């Protein structure tokens, strides 16, 4: 409380303490200089119970005539060690995390899927974790309900690559299809690499789990999975581009409608506070670090030069924004929330 306000209260007749309290200005309360408990008249209403849960994670935007819905699936704080970045001292990595207000021993890894309504088809790009990665992820289905989208209405699922956080949402924990009416399209190069048993047998133990997970998801539905080559148009207005490095067949999507476009970057870079600012870093989860860096710079340069709207699967929700080229890398500028479509 300011000196002036104290003087004003003291100036009121001390036999009328309630009136004195009314002199405490609303501004002083808002400024935090007066405790609410000391203000019975201003806090006369019963306290509201806390909601105790997060609101739905949904964000809608338009690209030309297409309506897009970004659906949050949650976040995983991936534990990291000094092996996390192969070509930088861990102290530099810790500095980058600290500069981004992130924990030093974990990588914040949010998951945002995208539904594109082309007017002809409802297309889901990547499917989330299926609640099978981390307890703090797996809210995609709840957000679908909140967005008023019936999983049965999804016509097409398009997959960027075969890591579990992108394919596990195809099925639930009981191995049932979550989107039973959807055609599934995957990159040919991704299928070729991961479904090859020779590659599985040659893989280190932790990567073998990834190979086995892919067999769990795809083996019994293989006849219904369509494979595409880079450059293919998977739906009207959605074209594919090879973006290898993170995985051999990693694919990004360019969405065009009218005179607007969006580049769906998938895992070209994970959290931009780390990998846009340090595009040269080879993350342990990139299968070919050199190729991942080349792909990242090529796509980021293009997006920055053309001032394209981009979305990244592991960018902070709603995951879309722009990229600016800086002296040492790139900076991600999130979109402004648009109240009207």
Question: Residue numbers of the site for Zn ion (CB under 5 A)?
Answer: 163, 165, 267
Residue 246 CB, nearest approach to Zn ion (Å) = 8
Nearer to Zn ion, 143 or 247 (CB): 247
User: Bridge partners of 61?
Assistant: 68
Q: Which of 318, 193, 325, 217 is nearest to 262 (CA)?
A: 318
Residue 314 CB, nearest approach to Zn ion (Å) = 6
Nearer to Zn ion, 110 or 237 (CB): 110
Nearer to Zn ion, 163 or 277 (CB): 163
C-alpha gyration radius of the chain = 25
End-to-end alpha-carbon separation of the chain, Å? 44
Q: Scanning the structure block, which residue is given the tokens 């900076």?
A: 331
Residue 160 CB, nearest approach to Zn ion (Å) = 8
Residue 328 CB, nearest approach to Zn ion (Å) = 24
Residue 161 CB, nearest approach to Zn ion (Å) = 8
Q: What does the CA dihedral 166, 171, 174, 177 come to, rounded to 10 degrees?
A: 180
Residue 53 CB, nearest approach to Zn ion (Å) = 26
Q: What does the alpha-carbon distance between residue 141 and residue 132 come to, in Å, rounded to a whole number?
A: 13
Nearer to Zn ion, 165 or 286 (CB): 165
Nearer to Zn ion, 267 or 286 (CB): 267
Give per-residue burial for 75-112: e unless 16+ CB within 10 Å, then b: bbebebeeebbeeeeeeebbebbeeeebeeeebbbbbb
| Cα–Cα separations (whole angstroms), residue 61 to 58, 280, 341 | 10, 31, 6
Residue 235 CB, nearest approach to Zn ion (Å) = 22
List the structure tokens of 153. 């209405």
Beginning with the edge strand found earlier in the chain, give each strand of the sheet holding 122-125 in spatial order: 58-63, 66-79, 106-117, 122-125, 156-158, 183-187, 225-228
Nearer to Zn ion, 228 or 315 (CB): 315
CB 75 within 8 A of CB 139: no
Beginning with the edge strand found earlier in the chain, give each strand of the sheet holding 233-235 in spatial order: 233-235, 238-242, 251-257, 260-264, 309-311, 320-325, 330-334
Nearer to Zn ion, 66 or 84 (CB): 84
Residue 226 CB, nearest approach to Zn ion (Å) = 22
Nearer to Zn ion, 56 or 164 (CB): 164
Nearer to Zn ion, 165 or 190 (CB): 165
Residue 75 CB, nearest approach to Zn ion (Å) = 12
Q: 296 preceded by cis ω (within 30°)?
A: no
Q: What does the alpha-carbon distance between residue 8 and residue 97 come to, in Å, rounded to a whole number?
A: 48
What is residue 282's three-state secondary structure? coil
């Amino acid at each position: 409380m300011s000196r002036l306000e104290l003087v004003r209260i003291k100036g009121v007749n001390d036999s009328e303490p309630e009136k004195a309290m009314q002199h405490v200005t609303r501004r002083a309360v808002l400024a935090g200089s007066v405790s609410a408990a000391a203000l019975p008249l201003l806090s006369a209403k019963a306290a509201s119970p806390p909601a105790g849960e997060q609101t739905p994670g949904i964000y809608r935007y338009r690209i030309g005539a297409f309506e897009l819905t970004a659906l949050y699936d949650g976040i995983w704080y991936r534990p990291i060690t000094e092996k996390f970045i192969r070509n930088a001292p861990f102290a530099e990595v810790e500095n980058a995390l600290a500069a981004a207000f992130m924990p030093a021993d974990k990588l914040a890894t949010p998951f945002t899927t995208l539904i594109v309504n082309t007017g002809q088809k409802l297309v889901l790009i990547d499917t989330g974790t299926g609640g099978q990665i981390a307890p703090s992820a797996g809210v995609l289905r709840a957000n679908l309900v909140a967005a008023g989208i019936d999983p049965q209405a999804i016509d097409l699922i398009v997959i960027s690559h075969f890591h579990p956080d992108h394919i596990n949402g195809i099925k639930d924990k009981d191995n049932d299809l979550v989107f039973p009416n959807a055609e599934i399209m995957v990159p040919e190069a991704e299928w070729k690499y991961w479904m090859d048993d020779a590659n599985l047998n040659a893989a280190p133990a932790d990567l073998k789990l990834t190979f086995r997970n892919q067999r769990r998801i795809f083996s019994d539905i293989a006849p219904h999975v369509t494979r595409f080559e880079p450059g293919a148009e998977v739906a009207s207005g959605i074209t594919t581009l090879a973006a290898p490095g993170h995985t051999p067949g990693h694919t990004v999507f360019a969405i065009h409608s009218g005179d607007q476009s969006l580049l769906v970057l998938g895992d070209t870079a994970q959290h931009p506070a780390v990998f846009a600012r340090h595009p040269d870093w080879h993350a342990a989860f990139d299968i070919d670090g050199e190729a991942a860096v080349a792909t990242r710079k090529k796509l980021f340069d293009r997006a920055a030069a053309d001032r394209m709207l981009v979305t990244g699967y592991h960018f902070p929700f709603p995951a879309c924004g722009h990229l600016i080229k800086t002296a040492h890398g790139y900076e991600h500028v999130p979109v402004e929330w648009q109240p009207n479509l």
